Amino acid sequence: MHRFGLFVGRTLPVLVTICFIAALTSLSAPAHAGGYSAIVVDADTGRVLHAHEADTQRYPASLTKMMTLYMAFDALKDGRLKLDQRIPVSAHAAGQAPSAIGLRPGQTLIVRDAILAAVTKSANDATVALGEAIGSGSEAQFAAMMTRRAHQLGMTSTTFRNASGLPNPGQKTTARDMATLAQALLKNHKTYYTYFSTPEFEWNDKVFNNHNHLLKRYEGVDGIKTGYIRASGFNLVASAKRDGRRVIGVVFGGTSVTARDNRMIELLDTAFEKIDGSNAPVMAEKTDRNFGLISSAEAATAKPAKSKQVKPRTEAKASNGANGGAGNGEWAVQLGAFKQAAAAEKLLDRVRSKLPAAEPLVDAVDAGKVTLYRARLTGLTQTSARQACEQLKREKMTCSVVSPDA
């Protein structure tokens, strides 16, 4: 009995702890955890350019900070806060899990620095301090204020439980609601929105780089926020402006930072083609391990049933498509496949100066019910084709190498 009692005394606390952890895990990781959702909208008209499970609830993670900052901008606008005002740092705020800038209880923080820390480092301690300053010292009260304001903006599927986006089973949103929030930030707080393009933030002799890599990777991106917790995967809201037109993209559930960013680039590329009045590059759909869509490079090497010539309006020459546009054993690169020849021509015009040694070609192929126009650069060696693609990809353009026998 003595040995049995000793065994129970040592084992029971362990079993209770395991059960408690299991219960917490079941709360924090429901069936939809990490699921892929996306939406892209024309920021000027509200037109939806792409949507995939846009109304399915997901965990926002640090995208939550977009709402916290919206509330801060509201407070700045009506005079409840000032940019140079010092706000207190509570023990609760200082004790937030990283990411953090290392605030200590009893410290004070300038509002402007709290905003920049939230935007760049996605600092939970600074964000909670900012929320408490608006919510009369209570993060819970501030979260309730966030939810009410979100619903006023039309984010009817969103509930906030904290200011930072740290895991909470009750904190949920949708891709559509996050796009709505991004539009509201641009419309209602245009001046303060520029904070989202801050490349780095220096504080207390430390430099914090912005987590949004698309600020450097994609032409026209000027914000706005990344997010990650295990239950959500890698999330991103991005806004880009080109030729006077702006689009907003939302991606939930990336398997990695790179996969998330690359998917956003594909979505933004397609969106700009659509709002330019031309058809978007054709992308075949099938499930893959990242996002449920195959890459445009795979679509580029698809074999249509038959081909025909097209007479482009530019100097780009037309081929019969029989050898994939490579011709006489030469290599080529493909930039996209379109439903309109004008769209392919426009893209070739855009890149001709970058690769003057290559010959532009619009390749018309009959893919059954639709004719596709492939934008290609031909007359290249294997080495120069690969170098050309690498150069174009560095400039945020999609590209795939086409061999002579493709």
Catalytic positions, please? 62, 65, 122
Phi-psi region of 34 (alpha: psi -120 to 50; beta: other; left: phi over 0): left
For 36-61, give the DSSP string: -EEEEEETTT--EEEEESTTS-B--G
CA distances to 58, 364, 366 from 338, rounded to whole Å, are 33, 9, 12
Judged by DSSP in three states, 311 sits in coil
User: What CA dihedral angle connects 40, 43, 45 and 46, to 10 degrees?
Assistant: 50
Pairing of strands 359-366, 317-319: parallel
CB 94 within 8 A of CB 180: no
Which residues of 103-183 form beta strands (DSSP E)? 108-110
Distance between the two ends of the chain, CA-based, in angstroms?
A: 78
Radius of gyration from C-alpha coordinates of the chain: 25
Q: Where are the alpha helices (DSSP H) in 153-256?
A: 175-188, 190-193, 214-217
Judged by DSSP in three states, 378 sits in strand
Among 33, 16, 35, 20, which residue's Cα sits nearest to residue 168?
33
Judged by DSSP in three states, 293 sits in coil
DSSP state of 375: E
Chain center to CA of 257: 9
Phi-psi region of 197 (alpha: psi -120 to 50; beta: other; left: phi over 0): alpha
